[in-house]
Structure 1
Amino acid sequence: MNVVENEAQLVSEACHGSLTAFESLVKLYEPRIRRMIYGMTQDVQLTQDICQDTFLAAYRALPRMEGKELRFAPWLYRIALNLVRSEWRHHKHIKMVPFPTPQGNDDTAFDEQGEDFLVSDEQFEEGVVQRELVRRVLAQLPESSVTCLLLDAEGFSYNEIAETLQDSLSAVRSRLSRARHAFQRIYNRLDQEGS
């Protein structure tokens, strides 16, 4: 059985109440959801809370879903994005920032930076400057553009982004194109100002 068929089977079983199937889906998606949330919040504790709430909301909603028809990844990302937006509306302390560059090979590497990351050399300083520049650029873009860029960076296709954001394919293509151009224009301007 390939990964897609296996995932579809897990989703179907989870919709019918299988805790084991749901736990397998959590293991599969938790690192990706966590990475996206952290990329938006840059707050480890808040990321953990929203990630946990995402899977709790998914678990509660699964029995009402049609397992064979459910496109699980976009649905799950939409839950996470809605929770981040809700948190932002209530507390106004979340800033859209880029994904960090994790150190190490496992998906939880962003939680604790490795010792090598703290060694101050040219590459480290250049990486810090570049991340700060990207953060400043994203802070100047509309939230919808930043969300599209983050999902694109996560490897989602145009169709998956459209489904996640509950938008049309043409709107996502247009928004991503404008967001990329705006990002490049602002990045170049800020980079030249910093030189």
Structure 2
Amino acid sequence: MTSDQNDDGSLPHDLSAKLVAIAASADMVAFEALFREFSPRIRAYLLKMTRDTQAAEDLMQETMLAIWRKAGQFDPSRGHASAWIYTIARNIWIDAWRRQRRPAFDPDDPALVADPEPDAPKRMEDKESSAALHAALKNLPQEQVELIKLSFFDEASHSTIATRLGLPIGTVKSRIRLAFGRLRTALEDFK
């Protein structure tokens, strides 16, 4: 038996014709014949893949439905109709396997739960901390305030700040360190 022959030795000359007929005119007779011929083979193939009779049956039904829908995509010049059909079955099995492996959505997952709103004392503390920081920044020389804003609010790198201000990078680093020392001292009084 060659790859061009059916199990009974006959040529599948009409398999491609059946797919073309299904695509051209939604020919139910051709589809029924194709279903009778291929559904047991596809079921057996999928049973080997899934080792689950019910899953194989469901995937076979899904495969046959896909064949009905995609019959217009079959191109006899690209290969045998049976290879096209088994490729659809294999792809459907792969999709089903991937769906099984995907974790279920858990709405109670801590990563998906929003942080609770801070209570009144915490909001008040945050507001006081913010006011203290702004007051401390007002007491710094303008050059140091600019360096802190560029570094931490604009998130510019030290080398970018050095280029932008025309200063050596070492000077930028030491001035930022000096500004932080002054801020730390001013904020310690806040505590």
Please, what TM-score do these two structures have when normalized by structure 1?
Answer: 0.42
* Greater length-normalized contact order (CA 8 Å, ≥ 6 residues apart): 1
Which structure has the bigger radius of gyration? Answer: 2
